[in-house]
Chains A and B, each alone.
Chain A
Amino acid sequence: MTARVGVEGLARSFAGVPAVRDLSFTVGAGEIHALCGHNGAGKSTVVKMLSGQIPPDQGRISVDGEPAELRSRRAAQRLGIALVDQELSVVPALTVLDNLLLGDIDAPMLNRRRAAVARCRAVLDEIGLERIDPDRPLSSLSIGERQLVEIARALSQKARLVILDEPTATLSDVESDLVFAAIRRVAARGCAVLYVSHRLAEVLDLCDTVTVLRDGRRIATTPAGELTVGTLIEQMLGEAPHRLAATRPPDPDLGHALRIDHLHVPGRLADFTLTAQAGRIYALAGQLGSGASDVLRALAGLHPQATGSVELHDRALPLRNPVGAARAGVAFVSNDRKSEGLFLDKTVAWNLVATRLPSLGRAGVIRAGRERRAARSLAERSGLAEHRLDDPVLTLSGGNQQKVFVGRCLGRDDVHALLLDEPTRGVDIGGRAAIHRLLRSAADAGLVVLFASTELEELLELGDVIVTLRDGRTVGRYDGDADGATLMRDMTHGVNAT
């Protein structure tokens, strides 16, 4: 097997923290090479360097033996490196044909339509999209079909290396199978494939070779045939993390504050059931598309199609109605702080009291003194400096912004359940510990705390009860006794783990 793409001594750090160190591997023509690793292992950084989005600090990348200078995504594309991203970069408003031509650097300025259609047809047929008409608008296709169009686009650009970053995270099994078939066909044509995924069973099934990263270093490169899910997890985790913090045991005296019964969100979450005690922290462990974050969103009233029955302190929680959920005592911290969380232009003080305005006065009139006192005590409680109260939230670091977001939900008599989706996304180490302490103290104050996360350390450190999910279904439930390898197996492998 000749090396299509080679990487030697690659390194990159962000703000002094190394994300990838001294990484070398090769992908041969026709080889499907998996890149695996726990969150933060450096996979995305490698993908970004290979696709020309960020330059490496050190090291060489070569394509077909020639050293490659990948200064931009376009430069990478010119060398035949195509990237199929986690996020779709196809345009729903355009037709399938337009999308295939989009970003095609070989497309002639004046397009001869018939030739273009013929070429498009050939590309679609090759990937198994025989039934799709090139003139259909992309918006009429399912998400999986769109993903396939994106892969088809990469193919039509005569790629020498196709990088797929979590292509199946949001796909159904049938759609995934189509994607796998397409990838195999691509490889059979002599193209090298770099496949990044959390789904280990899938990786072992599809790929020829698996390179595992941990803390930015290459741990091993092994032929897939010699691996099992268990050995792979061992490679990814090293010494598997166990519980670090003491967790709160179940307390038989406390009743169940939150009862979730047969919660269902079409296409995302099937039949989720959980009863939760006040004062304990419940962790939902699952990768993107697992349904973990959908549980929270449904409880917060943000899934218009959610069904099921939920009771909070023996009162029915209205689903599909965010105002009703908030009134019933649910506080929700979204994983998208910028567009669905804070009011960035407004001050820290305004943000801290944004959801408790009625309690700051009488008959809809805010009392300035009471507002100020509330903001001050919340700032203190959440570990924010008082002199920053009048600064726009925009000027704060990610960690402090997240403290504002969480702080907004604390110290309220009318909040009974605190739901957090990825509570420490984009937060530095110090901020992370501070936010974890906030959540623990919120639980100690008698709240039900329920959070979704993809990070093992966070799940183990914070969750008194950990529920694992995959593909919208509950896989396991661990009360006190859980280790990283088991969680990882559940999250990546699902119910049939052996």
Chain B
Amino acid sequence: MAAQPKPLPAHQPSYLEGGGILGWLTTIDHKRVAVMYLVSALFFLALGGFEAMAIRVQLWRPDNHALSAAVYNAFFTMHGTTMIFLVVMPLLLGFFGNFLIPLQIGARDVAFPRLNALSFWLALVAGILLHLGWIRGGLPDAGWFGYANLTERYFTPGLAIDWWAIGLLVSGTSTVLTGLNFLTTIVAMRAPGMTYMRMPMFMWSLMVTSILILIAFPALTIGLIFLLFDRFFGTHFYVASAGATPILWQHLFWLFGHPEVYIMALPAFGIISEVIPTFSRKPLFGYPMMAYSICLIAFLSYGVWGHHMFATGMGPVADSAFAITSMLIAIPTGVKIFSWIATIWGGSLRMTTAFYFALGMILEFTLGGLSGIMHASAPIDLQQTDSYFVVAHFHYVLFGGVMFTIMAAFYYWWPKISGRMLGERLGKWHFWLTVIGFNLTFFPMHFLGMWGMPRRTYTYGADMGWTNLNQLETIGAFILAVAFLLFYVNIFKSLSSREERAPADPWDGRSLEWSTASPPPAYNFATIPQIRGRDAWWILKYGRAGSRGVAAYMSGQAPSQPQPDQPVSVEDIHMPAPSIFPLVLSLGVGVIGLGLIIDWYRIILIGAAVTVLSIVGMGFEYADFGEQSHDPEHAPSSGGVDVRKIGLWSFIGSECVFFASLISTFIVYKSRSLAGPGPKILNIPLTSFSTFVLLMSSLLMVLALAATQRGDKRWERIWLAGVVTFGLIFLGGQVYEFTSFYNEGMGLTTNLFSQSFFVLVGFHGAHVAIGVLWLSVLWVAAMTGKLGKSRALSVELAGLYWHFVDVVWIIIFTLVYLMQAVPGA
């Protein structure tokens, strides 16, 4: 950046130094956010581990009474929910993803640092909400998959499911914001010269994972919204006696739930693809195939949710289709395993603990993958599903595949993150105890499953022949617990040791994060390097031809190693200012959730006020912030498109799935009502008029943007006012429509048609209302002269959103209103 290198400052403060407690609470530095994710995830890991141990103690012998049925059910529910939502995803995405994305692509921070902090605080609030049942109402106890209609208030009264549903809703929101942020960052903020095909494989996996998050989580959100409507407002989305089907939940849940498996597995594949080349001193074998196979796995994962539902009676055609798509996933997964082995082949191996865990992952994950092929074969699955065979299968995938990877990642990146090494000797103990404990716990489960032991049962009979293996598993679980204890000890020892400082590049690494100090300074890189190929740092160290570089290395000849990250003009680097609003906003959201559940309206109002005020506060901060020149949020991206635009497009992509889920539900349910009004009640002439108004508002929006772009302040104000007015007319029409339906006797809970109509059209109305609010703020800015040509992008973004909402309305108008006028539809 700066042409003239200035003298090195005596000491570059690392990102960990300074700021005090307030500095951490208000931080928006991706590295500090990552560390906060780490602390919360390590806490929840201990909690989820405790629940697992309690489960194993209860299963020690038949007819045991160590835990009651109620506690056992709560523990297996919370073990799954905790490990997936509060441990594995936060560790892979929140911790390693957050820390490494900017460092591996050569950026100073993520695209939206404040949003990133908000993601963390929301995730923490979600974790707390999920556990408030300890204090009041009991822990959630319907399984992590929470199958309807067991979760209906009639079958599970009390607050437990409410905590669960609202906790997951907040957690999902946090994850979607993370996905949006990561996708935008990786697409837009790569260092110059880092093309897609030069990115580290971990970045590939996180980019694709982010897309999966954006399109998978809305399905869960919709499922949870229906559940909450059923529980709070008396609708019947999952109630068979009202004509609905509880299977709807399974479709929505697994449409999210299977991609979710890959949201956890793909980042792990990415990490393994970083660790293995480093410790084999070889480039990753088959890089293009590795990247494509990630994409293919993600694509296929969206079409296999039915393999969780073979037993529900979908019929032989659907069973066959889902069997085949599920089997297809084995092909790209096999490519990954073989390519990892080929990377090791012929390498110069450095047998570190990180590499041990990576090697362990290859074998354990292969076992999980192979039993997965069995489940893809629907008839076999009918014997194995919901038995301990499945428990064995997914623990080989999620523990053997993902947890082993997380451990490899800890030993690999901990020096970079903390500036200290983890003990290798202790690490080897940790590894071998993990291998022994893990296989002793989970391998016998294959046999228990084949011998017919169903999962999620708090007790079993002595005459079933399951006792011995259960005891073996409990012993294994205790060995595994000791292994985890060693891991915590290792972390503690490394942090408390005074001597051993980690060098910048302890493993002779290949990617950019090893070029900066350990731990890195807040701004990551003083100069953003020019990228000349894959393994960017390796090329900087050894030159382009890897073999020559290695040969030089082997002969003891020092490579022409550039000074790691020469700081040039540190004072010129402006990082975004800290903000307290992400924390306050999340607290507000948490308080709303709390108030909803304990049914105390004043608390909801307080929470809503805090939330709204912090959104306003963040908005003002953002507006001020926009004036600074080094603001990463305003940096032009590698593709020349503003990051905000990419972020909004990502959001719109996610919203498509949100509305698609709502619309599909409406289409399935509209004619299943048992009584009451149906589509004939719809007033098509009136809606045609408001549709026309909404479409015209899009036209005015185009005109407003054109006026702003040419600097025409007068017409900018007029057109913006026009859009807002037309939006308000549309909303007024909707209020009139809803009121007249209500007067004709069609309320929210009247029948399936009414509830799916009101929820679909109501959520669209809410989107219009948010758009009107957004445009009103712009109009006020225009009236006070703050908009203008230089801020045309603000108008463009609002316009994008507005057009999207209008397009959704065209689809709703066609499918909901016009289709009922077509005979036979």
A complexed with B: no
Which residues of chain B have a CB within 8 Å of any CB of chain A?
Answer: none
